A and B are shown apart, each in its own frame.
Chain A
Amino acid sequence: MTFHPNPIAFWLLALMVIGCALAVVNTKKVFHSGLCLVGCFFGIAGLYALLDSPFMAGLEILVYVGAIAMLILFAIMFTHKMMTPEPGTVFARPWIAAFISLVLFGVLAGCLAYSGFYPDTSQIASTEMDLRQSSSAQSVVLLGNRMLNPFVLPFELASVMILAAMIGSIVLARKEEDQPEPKEN
């Protein structure tokens, strides 16, 4: 069973992701950058959906668009003189930026190509048959089983880390004891 994502949809989504990512660093208003970032996240969610993993697509929208992008937009709204464009943020050193981006791209592509993280299709057919056959219909169930059976320790460790971060943020944001809160009615 081979799996062919629609190439037109892929290229459109790829174009959307790259275009939005470029717009994030190129627009003069910071709020627009935030909006373009949302477009980028949507494109990535579309790519996930195209790769037959709707659960990842849903989580991408829920977590990245719904939480992270909103947090970024809120931060922008609270901090900046919002309507004035920022002249200094646009491509201060274009050649250095291009060089660093290329090096980063090369390193990531090399890692993916040589680490075996990108699996052989024949390998998929033999070892991950269950995942292939059931594809999207059972992917949530499979994901849940994998998380709670072989990968339960990293999963729980991640949750403990998030809990610690949450408690830490509450402790940092809490008001001091000697400042009494204004009395509520």
Chain B
Amino acid sequence: MELIFEKFVLDITGGAIVIPPWITMLVSLAIVLVFIALNAMFMIWLERKICGRIQRRPGPMLTGSKAMAQFSMWTGGWLQTPCDSFKLIFKEDIIPSRVDRFGFILAPILVFMAALAVYVPMPWSATSYSQPGLTTLAIADLNIGILYIVAIPSLTILSIVTAGWSSNNKYSLLGGLRSGMQMLSYEIPMMFALLGPVVLAGSLSLGDIVKVQSQGFFGIPLAGWFIVPSFIGGLVYFICAIAESNRPPFDMPESEQELVAGFNTEYTAMRFAMFYLAEFSNCFVVSTVFTVVFLGGWSLPYFTPPAALDLGIFTLPYFDLICGVLIFAAKAYAVVLLLMWIRWTYPRLRPDHLMNFCWKFLLPLAIGNLIICTIIAGLQQLYLGGS
């Protein structure tokens, strides 16, 4: 495991300061923490605005300045989520007397741990486009990236089930059980859907998967994105991703008509905020995984940015790196928008339909996709030789 960040800092300081690994770890942790909080705030604002747009209303408009509200529907109420966050921070933290304290306190910690840990192998960008042996900008480009990405969410399931059980509340318990059932089931077609690209790329590392996609497919640049050879897999992963992040139309765990608020009924203030943050963070993470595995990550066909951009006055270093991050973010947020569009368009499924859909439809489809991908990978090896 190589801490790319460490090298990056070395590069900036010109090797003058050697940063010990624990500092780089702390710095990357802090970056991810700040990112999760800010990103969740942005996504909540976006969600409410899009929800409003779809339901033909402006969404939150009052918090923030009047001028911003008069300027446009999208800028009005821009201060709403920061205010909501402050409210959550200052609210009283209530632990009901009959709950199981150990599990009740442990669950939000676990769910946030999982949300944090998933960011470790995420390839934000390439450190250099032009070099042949390009490295990825990640906290650590694990060579088991995909496995790690699918293994960590099991911690989320565990924490949701724990929260449901320890709340000592029938609705919470049912919500937790439903959620566990749903997430465990949808994990299986999701893994099979991700196996297709793994076979095509011949690697489990997220960085390698992006690199293979940027090379094109039989000489066609855009077709190198795995959404082309493994279109069914992409579709299955996308559906499973919605179910994994517990978002409507798969939000059985917190269907409010039946279960009050599901597993987090008894949670208040920051403990509740932990679940909420983790949910939005997971929503973003599944979008990034979709981007990395199926949409070519930070790569863009016909586009290789120079290592440094000459602006006349000064040269902008790490231009390719910044471009990569921007491309990656653009793709990821496009997928996030798609997720939100689906959320506000489709009604909720019934639990038994949900299970049938997973086991009888998605799983065979995903396995079929894996077979197709294997055949394509074999043909590729036959024609192009090597690798």
**A residues with CB within 8 A of B:** 29, 31-32, 35, 38, 54-55, 57-59, 61-62, 65-67, 69-70, 73-74, 77, 82-83, 136-137, 139-140, 184
Q: Which one, B147, B155, B352, contacts A55 given CB within 8 A?
A: B147
Interface code B1-27, partner A: CB below 8 Å = 1, 0 otherwise? 100000000000000000000000000
Tell me whether B161 and A70 are in contact (CB under 8 A).
yes
Q: Find chain A residues with CB under 8 A from B1 CB.
A: 54, 136
Tell me whether B154 and A65 are in contact (CB under 8 A).
yes
Shortest beta-carbon distance from B135 to chain A in Å:
13
Tell me whether A62 and B100 are in contact (CB under 8 A).
no
Q: Find chain A residues with CB under 8 A from B352 CB.
A: 184
Tell me whether B158 and A69 are in contact (CB under 8 A).
yes
Please tell me if B102 contacts chain A, counting CB pairs below 8 Å. yes
Tell whether A61 pairs with B100 under 8 Å between CB atoms, given A74-B180, A140-B204.
no
Tell whether A77 pairs with B177 under 8 Å between CB atoms, given A54-B142, A70-B158, A136-B1.
yes
Tell me whether A77 and B155 are in contact (CB under 8 A).
no
Please tell me if B380 contacts chain A, counting CB pairs below 8 Å. no
Tell me whether B143 and A35 are in contact (CB under 8 A).
no
Tell me whether A32 and B102 are in contact (CB under 8 A).
yes
Please tell me if B165 contacts chain A, counting CB pairs below 8 Å. yes
Instruction: Please give me the residue from chain A that is nearest to B187 by CB atom.
Output: A66
Q: How far is the CA of A69 from the CA of B100 in the complex (A)?
A: 19
Q: How far is the CA of A38 from the CA of B151 in the complex (A)?
A: 13
Q: Which one, A66, A82, A83, contacts B154 given CB within 8 A?
A: A66
Instruction: Please give me the residue from chain A that is nearest to B152 by CB atom.
Output: A61
Please tell me if B264 contacts chain A, counting CB pairs below 8 Å. no
Q: Which one, A29, A61, A73, contacts B161 given CB within 8 A?
A: A73
Q: Find chain B residues with CB under 8 A from A140 CB.
A: 143-144, 204
Tell whether A29 pairs with B155 under 8 Å between CB atoms, given A35-B106, A58-B144, A83-B168.
no
A-B pairs with lowest CB-CB distance, top 4 = A66-B154, A58-B147, A62-B151, A61-B151
Tell me whether A35 and B151 are in contact (CB under 8 A).
no
Tell whether A59 pairs with B100 under 8 Å between CB atoms, given A65-B154, A66-B187.
no
Q: Find chain A residues with CB under 8 A from B184 CB.
A: 66-67, 70
Please tell me if B157 contacts chain A, counting CB pairs below 8 Å. yes
Q: How far is the CA of A54 from the CA of B155 in the complex (A)?
A: 17
Q: How far is the CA of A82 from the CA of B106 in the complex (A)?
A: 17
Q: How far is the CA of A136 from the CA of B153 in the complex (A)?
A: 23
Interface of A is mostly: helix
Instruction: Please give me the residue from chain B that is nearest to A69 by CB atom.
Output: B158
Q: How many residues of B contact A (CB 8 A)?
A: 30
Shortest beta-carbon distance from B107 to chain A in Å:
10
Q: How far is the CA of A22 from the CA of B153 in the complex (A)?
A: 26
Interface contacts beyond A61-B151, A73-B180: sample of 11 additional A-B pairs, CB < 8 Å, sorted by A? A31-B166, A35-B103, A57-B144, A58-B144, A58-B151, A59-B147, A70-B180, A77-B165, A137-B143, A140-B144, A140-B204
Instruction: Please give me the residue from chain B that is nearest to A76 by CB atom.
Output: B165
Q: Find chain B residues with CB under 8 A from A77 CB.
A: 161, 165, 173, 177
**B residues with CB within 8 A of A:** 1, 100, 102-103, 106, 142-144, 147-148, 150-155, 157-158, 161-162, 165-166, 168, 173, 177, 180, 184, 187, 204, 352
Q: How far is the CA of A25 from the CA of B157 in the complex (A)?
A: 24
Q: Find chain A residues with CB under 8 A from B151 CB.
A: 58-59, 61-62, 65-66
Name 19 interchain pairs, CB-CB below 8 A, sorted by A: A31-B100, A31-B166, A32-B102, A35-B103, A54-B142, A55-B144, A58-B148, A61-B151, A61-B154, A61-B155, A65-B151, A66-B184, A70-B161, A73-B161, A77-B161, A77-B165, A77-B173, A136-B1, A140-B143
Tell me whether B143 and A136 are in contact (CB under 8 A).
yes
Q: Find chain B residues with CB under 8 A from A74 CB.
A: 161, 177, 180
Instruction: Please give me the residue from chain B that is nearest to A61 by CB atom.
Output: B151
Residue among B103, B161, B180 with max Cβ neighbours from chain A (10 Å):
B161
Tell me whether A32 and B154 are in contact (CB under 8 A).
no
Shortest beta-carbon distance from B322 to chain A in Å:
28
Shortest beta-carbon distance from A3 to chain B in Å:
14
Shortest beta-carbon distance from B377 to chain A in Å:
14
Q: Which one, A54, A67, A83, contacts B100 given CB within 8 A?
A: A83
Instruction: Please give me the residue from chain A that is nearest to B147 by CB atom.
Output: A58
Q: Find chain B residues with CB under 8 A from A62 CB.
A: 147, 150-151, 154
Q: Find chain A residues with CB under 8 A from B204 CB.
A: 140
Q: Find chain A residues with CB under 8 A from B102 CB.
A: 32, 35
Tell me whether B165 and A54 are in contact (CB under 8 A).
no
Q: Find chain B residues with CB under 8 A from A83 CB.
A: 100, 168
Tell me whether A38 and B158 are in contact (CB under 8 A).
yes
Tell me whether A70 and B143 are in contact (CB under 8 A).
no
Q: Which one, B103, B148, B153, B161, contacts A32 given CB within 8 A?
A: B103
Q: How far is the CA of A157 from the CA of B1 in the complex (A)?
A: 34
Q: Find chain B residues with CB under 8 A from A82 CB.
A: 165
